[in-house]
Chains A and B, each alone.
Chain A
Amino acid sequence: MKKVLALFLVSILMLTACSSGSNKDTSDKGKDTKEVTVWAWDPNFNIKAMNLAKEAYKSENPDVNIKVIEHAQDDIIQKLNTSLSSGTTKGLPNIVLIEDYRAQSFLKAYPDMFHELTSSFKAADFAQYKIAPTSLDGKNYGLPFDTGVTGLYVRTDYLEKAGYKVADLQNMDWNKYIEVGKKVKEATGKSMLTQDPKDLGLIRMMIQTSGSWYLKNDGVTPDIAGNAALKDAFQTYKAILDADLVKPVSDWGQFVAGFNSGDVATVPTGNWITPSIKAEASQAGKWAVLPMPKQSGIANSVNASNLGGSSWYVLNIDGKEKAADFLGKTFGSNADFYQTLNKEMGAIGTYKPASEGEAYKAADDFFGGQKVVSDFAAWTEKIPQVNYGMHTYAIEDILAVSMQDYLKGKDLDKVLEDAQKQAEEQIK
């Protein structure tokens, strides 16, 4: 029995020896090189932008090696959650991209794990609606990156068949949109838009035009029952479905195929869809971008909203100063860099001084000569600031069920009350 015990102890010792040995290796490597690692998703957008930033920074600081690694967004979230909650920062990058809707939950769930960036850039230089989600207790933790400013992409040829001109449809509300949609359907047989019943992006865009969100301004109290904007959005959503304007889809690929194949007349979404719209070169000149429709029943609703968008965060680990310096000197203050970003890949940042630049004023022939970028930049400044808080996706999953109930005929007030109760129960 003693021998068994001894063997047991030896094997445990060996195991621990193995693990401590490998730990030493990785920490040594980290100290030797001046390496800043970055995690982001989407090679056509975020990764590309980061690589451009890397080039811009390299000319002045050749000794810092920046390594950009692509992971899917879901993978980044999982890796951050598992590592940070177990209290280890080994294997994590210096800089990470986080979606604005999720930022607060990371900042609050893992205090002290993110490096404060307040002194690395001037918050006043950025679009105001980006500041609330990226900061906590008055301190800035995220450097605002892309804007999710929304527009209503429309097929001008379909609208003309239905007897509408783009000029007539500026700053419309959703009632008008439905009216147009019915005519378009009559004239062309095309649906107005695609919708994925699992994704309430449309609802989110609608309520943000009215400065409202799923949560109250404190970022934790659910604001569902008695939220006039949300109620109106639900009614509009149902009206759009009832008018038979929707072609249902169930994933991103089908969504993109919907407009690339010419099956839908409009795409209400964030400006980051521009590259995908332009991907179908045969439709050049047939598109235009209108301001987002506003909510009809809500007084303070404006024709500007946001969908998605993300920001850069620095983790509180070795190399954080270098990482913060890199971000501050590129995304944080370099207006020329934003011109390059725009020219090379059509990205629109949220850095206000950049909108003075030449690239932002260029006309785009794909959109019939419309100055799309400067339009988006102008709408960006009109986006009402809301506090996304910590629970966007948790509440959205509850509301997705509520929506199904409502569409099946349940009373709307009751639906929203139930959702409020469930949300309060879930997010304590």
Chain B
Amino acid sequence: MITAKENHTQALQKVNSGRKTRLKNNVIGWSFVIIAAVMIFLFYFYPMVQALILSFQTGVGANLTFTGIDNYTRLFKDPTFLTTVKNTVIYLIIQVPVMILLALFLSVLLNNKTLKFKGFFRTAIFLPCVTSLVAYSVIFKYLFGQDGIINMMLMKISLISEPIQWLTDPFWAKIAIIIAITWRWTGYNMIFYLSALQNVDESIYEAARIDGASPIQQFFKITIPMLKPIILFTSITSTIGTLQLFDEVMNITKGGPGNATMTISQYIYNLSFKYTPDFGYAATVSYAIVIMIVIFSIIQFKAAGDNNE
């Protein structure tokens, strides 16, 4: 009995001291996390909540009053907003798949064991991502200008007889923007695929080759399934990036001609800073982007993620 009791107290002490060290560890752990957590709360979640509240208000500048869901119903009647959504979706459904395929293709090429000057090619393709958004946009504006080098080249090789109005025609302006963002972001996505490819076991390909699989079969039957999580990740980040597209359009076409290239983000900017400031409605448009991102991400998860879980 006595020994049992002693055992019991000893065990209790052990548990107690264990609890203490665990608590101590917890406190140390939390103190590391807490600063970041507080910062994120203060500068991320608090403004988000404030923006949500703001989106139910309307008025000019500082004179805001609550109007309920008026701003949200206005969204659906606002032709400019609907045009910007249409433009953004066009960029999205054309540019993102083109870019992802291109990035995949390039990364498989660059992963080739026999390729010479690998480092040079990788750097060259990744380099656009290092350039500033504004700087490259300005350069693209000049490349695509009426007398720009692109028109000159096309005319010199007699593909076209008169200059394409890259920046002042509604159709070509969209194409110019899509080319610009593809140039800027393909290398960025390629790096993800490249690193994922290096984690794919070479023996899988070896086995496939022994079984007589052609390179194309290897690509579709091995590479793509192995990269599926990364493809999902890059397509979601690209989707979010495209929905928030701003710098390129602002600098290359300013949204023109008319509003043929204007994006949702640029409309938010215009509502807040170009026109008489209506921060309430601008916040509503921002939340429209949030909702769209959530919807698109869910769709992509559902489309690609079914056998990952």
- Interface pairs (19), CB distance under 8 Å: A3-B27, A4-B27, A7-B34, A8-B38, A74-B273, A81-B273, A105-B276, A105-B277, A108-B60, A109-B60, A109-B61, A113-B62, A197-B168, A393-B274, A394-B270, A394-B276, A397-B259, A404-B258, A426-B78
Known: A7-B34, A8-B38. A197 touches B257 (CB 8 A): yes
Contact of A248 among B30, B61, B62, B168 (CB under 8 A): B168
CB 8 Å contact bits of B257-285 with A (1 = contact, 0 = none): 11110000000001011111101000000
Contacts of B258 in A (CB 8 A): 197-198, 400-401, 403-405
B180 CB within 8 Å of chain A = no
- Complex contact A77–B145 (CB within 8 A): no
Rounded to whole angstroms, the CA-CA distance of A62 and B273 in the bound complex is 37
- Nearest CB of chain B from residue A262's CB, rounded to whole Å: 14
Residues of A within 8 A of B (CB): 3-4, 7-8, 11-12, 15, 74, 77-78, 81, 84-85, 87, 105-106, 108-111, 113, 196-198, 247-251, 254, 390-391, 393-394, 397-398, 400-401, 403-405, 422, 425-428
- Complex contact B276–A254 (CB within 8 A): no
Contacts of A109 in B (CB 8 A): 60-63, 276-277
- Complex contact A400–B257 (CB within 8 A): yes
- Nearest CB of chain B from residue A297's CB, rounded to whole Å: 25
- Complex contact B170–A404 (CB within 8 A): yes
Contacts of A85 in B (CB 8 A): 61-62, 277, 279
Rounded to whole angstroms, the CA-CA distance of A3 and B30 in the bound complex is 10
Contacts of A197 in B (CB 8 A): 168, 256-258
Contact of B275 among A84, A391, A404, A422 (CB under 8 A): A391
Q: Which of B207-266 contact A (CB under 8 A)?
A: 253-260
Contacts of B31 in A (CB 8 A): 7
B80 CB within 8 Å of chain A = yes
- Complex contact B259–A249 (CB within 8 A): no
CB 8 Å contact bits of B157-170 with A (1 = contact, 0 = none): 00000000101101
- Complex contact B146–A401 (CB within 8 A): no
- Complex contact B273–A110 (CB within 8 A): no
- Look across to chain B and name the residue whose beta carbon is closest to the beta carbon of A249: B146
CB 8 Å contact bits of B128-162 with A (1 = contact, 0 = none): 00000000000001000110000000000000000
- Complex contact A77–B276 (CB within 8 A): no
Known: A11-B34, A197-B168, A249-B146. A401 touches B259 (CB 8 A): yes
B119 CB within 8 Å of chain A = no
- Complex contact B60–A81 (CB within 8 A): no
Rounded to whole angstroms, the CA-CA distance of A53 and B237 in the bound complex is 52
- Complex contact A427–B276 (CB within 8 A): yes
If A8-B38, A81-B272, A247-B146 are given as contacts, then 19 extra A-B residue pairs at C-beta distance below 8 Å, sorted by A number, are A4-B34, A7-B27, A7-B30, A85-B62, A85-B277, A106-B61, A109-B60, A110-B61, A248-B165, A251-B141, A391-B275, A393-B274, A397-B255, A397-B259, A400-B256, A404-B258, A422-B80, A425-B78, A427-B276
- Look across to chain A and name the residue whose beta carbon is closest to the beta carbon of B167: A250
Contacts of A400 in B (CB 8 A): 256-259
Interface size for chain B: under 10, 10 to 19, 20 to 34, or 35 or more residues?
35 or more
* Nearest 8 interchain pairs by C-beta: A109-B61, A198-B256, A105-B276, A394-B275, A404-B258, A401-B258, A197-B257, A250-B167
Contacts of B78 in A (CB 8 A): 425-426
- Look across to chain B and name the residue whose beta carbon is closest to the beta carbon of A81: B277
Rounded to whole angstroms, the CA-CA distance of A196 and B253 in the bound complex is 10
Rounded to whole angstroms, the CA-CA distance of A248 and B272 in the bound complex is 29
Residues of B within 8 A of A (CB): 27, 30-31, 34-35, 38, 42, 58, 60-63, 74, 77-80, 83, 141, 145-146, 165, 167-168, 170, 253-260, 270, 272-277, 279
Q: Interface SS of chain A: helix, strand, loop or mixed?
A: helix
Rounded to whole angstroms, the CA-CA distance of A254 and B165 in the bound complex is 14
Rounded to whole angstroms, the CA-CA distance of A78 and B279 in the bound complex is 12
- Complex contact A404–B257 (CB within 8 A): yes
- Nearest CB of chain B from residue A376's CB, rounded to whole Å: 29
Contacts of B275 in A (CB 8 A): 105, 391, 393-394, 397
Contacts of B60 in A (CB 8 A): 105, 108-109, 390
- Nearest CB of chain B from residue A137's CB, rounded to whole Å: 15
- Look across to chain B and name the residue whose beta carbon is closest to the beta carbon of A105: B276
Contact of A11 among B35, B58, B165 (CB under 8 A): B35
- Nearest CB of chain B from residue A146's CB, rounded to whole Å: 22
Contact of B34 among A8, A398, A428 (CB under 8 A): A8
Rounded to whole angstroms, the CA-CA distance of A247 and B34 in the bound complex is 60
- Complex contact A81–B61 (CB within 8 A): yes
Contacts of A426 in B (CB 8 A): 78, 80
Known: A250-B145, A251-B141. A198 touches B277 (CB 8 A): no
Rounded to whole angstroms, the CA-CA distance of A393 and B255 in the bound complex is 14
Rounded to whole angstroms, the CA-CA distance of A78 and B74 in the bound complex is 25
Rounded to whole angstroms, the CA-CA distance of A215 and B207 in the bound complex is 74
- Complex contact A15–B257 (CB within 8 A): no
Rounded to whole angstroms, the CA-CA distance of A403 and B259 in the bound complex is 11
- Look across to chain A and name the residue whose beta carbon is closest to the beta carbon of B165: A248
Rounded to whole angstroms, the CA-CA distance of A110 and B272 in the bound complex is 14
Q: Specify which of B255, B272, B277 lies most central, judged by the most chain A CB atoms within 10 Å of its CB.
A: B277
- Look across to chain B and name the residue whose beta carbon is closest to the beta carbon of A402: B258
- Nearest CB of chain A from residue B270's CB, rounded to whole Å: 7
- Look across to chain B and name the residue whose beta carbon is closest to the beta carbon of A404: B258
- Complex contact B61–A404 (CB within 8 A): no
- Nearest CB of chain A from residue B75's CB, rounded to whole Å: 11
Contact of A12 among B38, B63, B167, B274 (CB under 8 A): B38
- Nearest CB of chain A from residue B71's CB, rounded to whole Å: 11
Rounded to whole angstroms, the CA-CA distance of A247 and B9 in the bound complex is 95
- Look across to chain A and name the residue whose beta carbon is closest to the beta carbon of B163: A248
Contacts of A74 in B (CB 8 A): 273
Contacts of A393 in B (CB 8 A): 270, 274-275
- Look across to chain B and name the residue whose beta carbon is closest to the beta carbon of A263: B147
Contacts of B146 in A (CB 8 A): 247-250, 254
- Complex contact B62–A198 (CB within 8 A): no
- Complex contact B255–A84 (CB within 8 A): no
Contacts of B35 in A (CB 8 A): 11
- Look across to chain B and name the residue whose beta carbon is closest to the beta carbon of A74: B273
- Nearest CB of chain A from residue B280's CB, rounded to whole Å: 11
Known: A8-B34, A84-B61, A109-B61. A404 touches B277 (CB 8 A): no
- Complex contact B257–A397 (CB within 8 A): no
Contacts of B168 in A (CB 8 A): 196-197, 248, 250
Rounded to whole angstroms, the CA-CA distance of A381 and B272 in the bound complex is 35
- Look across to chain B and name the residue whose beta carbon is closest to the beta carbon of A254: B145
